Amino acid sequence: MTTFVLINVTLLAILIATALTISGMRTLYAATMLTALFSLVTACLFVLLDAVDVAFTEAAVGVGISTVLLLGVLSLTRSREAVTPRLRRLPGAVVVLFTGGTLIYASQDLPEFGSPTTPVQTHPLTDVYLRQSQEDIGIPNTVTSVLASYRGLDTLGELVVVFTAGVAVLALLGPLMQPAEAREREVLDLVDYRVLRVVTGMLMPFILLFALYVLFHGDFGPGGGFQAGVIFASGFVLYGLVFGLDRAQQVLPRRVLWVLIAVGPVLYAGVGVANMLLGGAFLDYDTFAPDDAAAGQHIGILLVESAIGVTVAAVMTSIFFGFANRVESSR
């Protein structure tokens, strides 16, 4: 127990120190790297809380892809923060202190950490999710049950949020760019480094295979569409970084990406519509196999997770391409 407390305290101390350092920094490259560290420490804390799925997502999204995207943005802009006059920082400081104060005030009456008698633990809902779900859905990872079935609409919503982000980036950077025109061959591509080239080539199948594993293993352990999509995307980003954008876009042309972005929401909502046509409620996967509810749930969850994986991977990749194209054409 004491080791646990000790690890928790240490991690939280690192987290606070990182946050304070970031807020004092002016060089944005360093700040970006530190936000990655921040996410990594957060992911560790999630692991300690036994929230392995969340930790996995945080590691993949917070540490991995969002850092790459932030670096992509920084290569377009100045990488030093402009100085805000002291007087204009004051209102911000007041708001931050007020917010922090309210949170501390709230924490006095929050249920005790880890106690078995918190409202969340004693609510009948917890029993439904932890026990009943084994009969209703029958997959060991209850996180996936809640995410993909009980609260499937939220997940559809989150997928649409990712889709919206992709559309927004395409709208602002996409169709107004002509990547084919006026692009000079870079003096030295990363592809000229043989070690990088060979190692990336060797890693690619493993990355993609791992993404597939994460996608289909979500029923049994941590994983699922979101994480898998991000791992897929990081594979393509790595490929693009090393072999150049042209070759990456030959593998995954924009037209294909454009379609893939939209396929996920259509597939996910299509599953729900199919359920309605089969006589159930929206997203009632039981209707896929009327005799064996659990089998129906399996089919539904698999389809839904695949839909998520496709769109998340396509959106992340196209956001990266969007920024990277901009960098190349501005040179």
Partner 1 sequence: MTAHLPVLQVLVPLVCAPFCVLLRSRTAAWLLFLFAALASLTCAVLLAVRVGGDGAQRYEMGGWPAPAGIEFVVGAFNTPVLLVVSAVAVVVAVYSRRSVTSEVDARRVPLLYTCLCLTLAGLLGLTVTGDVFNAFVFLEISSLSTYALVAMGRHRRALLASFRYLVIGTVGATFLLIGIGLAYAVTGTLNMSDLARRVADLGDDGGGNRALYAAVVFVFVGLAVKIAVFPLHAWLPGAYAQAPSAIGAFLSATSTKVAIYVFCRFAFTVFGTTLVFGTMPIDRIGLALACLAMVAGSAVACFQTDLKYLLAWSSIAQIGYILAGISLATTAGVSAGYLHVINHAVLKAALFCAAGLLVLRLGSARFTALAGLGRRMPWTFAAVVIAGLGLVGVPPTAGFASKWALLTALVDQGQWAVVAAVLASSLLAMVYIGRIVEVAWFREPAEPGTGPTASKAPASMVAAIWVLVLASVYFGLDATWPAGLADAAADALLANGGE
- Asked whether 15 and 42 are in contact (CB, 8 A), the reply is yes
Q: Using CB under 8 A, which residues numbered 272 to 311 contact partner 1?
A: 272-273, 276, 280-286
Among 15, 28, 129, 216, binds partner 1 (CB under 8 A): 129
152 near partner 1, rule: CB under 8 A: yes
Q: Which secondary structure element, helix H or strand E, spans residue 232, and what is its range?
A: helix 225-243
Cα–Cα distance, 57 to 306 (Å, whole number) = 16
Chain mean position to CA 178: 29
Q: Under the criterion CB under 8 A, does residue 110 sit at the interface with partner 1? A: yes
> Which of 119, 187, 188, 331 is in the footprint of partner 1 by CB under 8 A?
119
Handedness of CA 134, 135, 136, 138 (dihedral sign): positive
The dihedral sign for the CA sequence 52, 163, 34, 9: negative
User: Minimal distance in Å, beta carbon 185 to partner 1?
Assistant: 27
Q: Please say which residue, 51 or 128, places its beta carbon nearer to partner 1.
A: 128
- Gap between the terminal Cα atoms of the chain: 56
- What does the angle CA 36 – CA 37 – CA 39 come to, to the nearest 5 degrees? 65
Residue with tokens 């040179």: 331
- Looking at the Cβ atoms of 24 and 124, the one nearer to partner 1 is 124
Stretch that binds partner 1, among 24-32, 50-58, 174-182, 319-327 (CB under 8 A): 174-182
150 forms part of the interface with partner 1 (CB under 8 A): yes
**Interface residue with partner 1, options 26, 80, 123, 247 (CB under 8 A):** 123
How crowded is the C-beta side of 228, counted as CA atoms within 13 Å?
A: 26
Residue 192: C-alpha distances to residues 54, 126, 245 (Å): 38, 56, 14
Contact assessment for residue 31 and residue 71, using Cβ atoms and an 8 Å cutoff: no
According to CB under 8 A, which one of 6, 12, 17, 168 is a site residue for partner 1? 168
> What's the min distance (Å) between Cβ of 88 and partner 1?
14
Q: Whose structure tokens read 């990277």? A: 324
Count of residues engaged in binding partner 1, rule: CB under 8 A: 62
Type of residue found at 155: T
Given the rule CB under 8 A, which of 21-29, 113-121, 188-196, 221-229 is the region that contacts partner 1?
A: 113-121
Task: Give the alpha-carbon dihedral of 232, 233, 235, 241, to 10 degrees.
Answer: 170
Q: Is 111 in the site for partner 1 (CB under 8 A)?
A: yes
The mark string for 243-262 relative to partner 1 (x by CB under 8 A, - otherwise) is ---------------xx-xx
Which residue in the block uniquely carries the two structure tokens 């042309």? 253
Task: Please identify, using beta-carbon distances, which residue of 223 and 264 lies nearer to partner 1.
Answer: 264
Restricted to residues 64-103, the positions that interact with partner 1 (CB under 8 A) are: 99, 102-103
Which residues bind to partner 1, rule: CB under 8 A?
Answer: 99, 102-103, 105-111, 118-126, 128-129, 132, 149-154, 157-158, 160-161, 163-165, 167-168, 170-172, 174-176, 258-259, 261-266, 269, 272-273, 276, 280-286
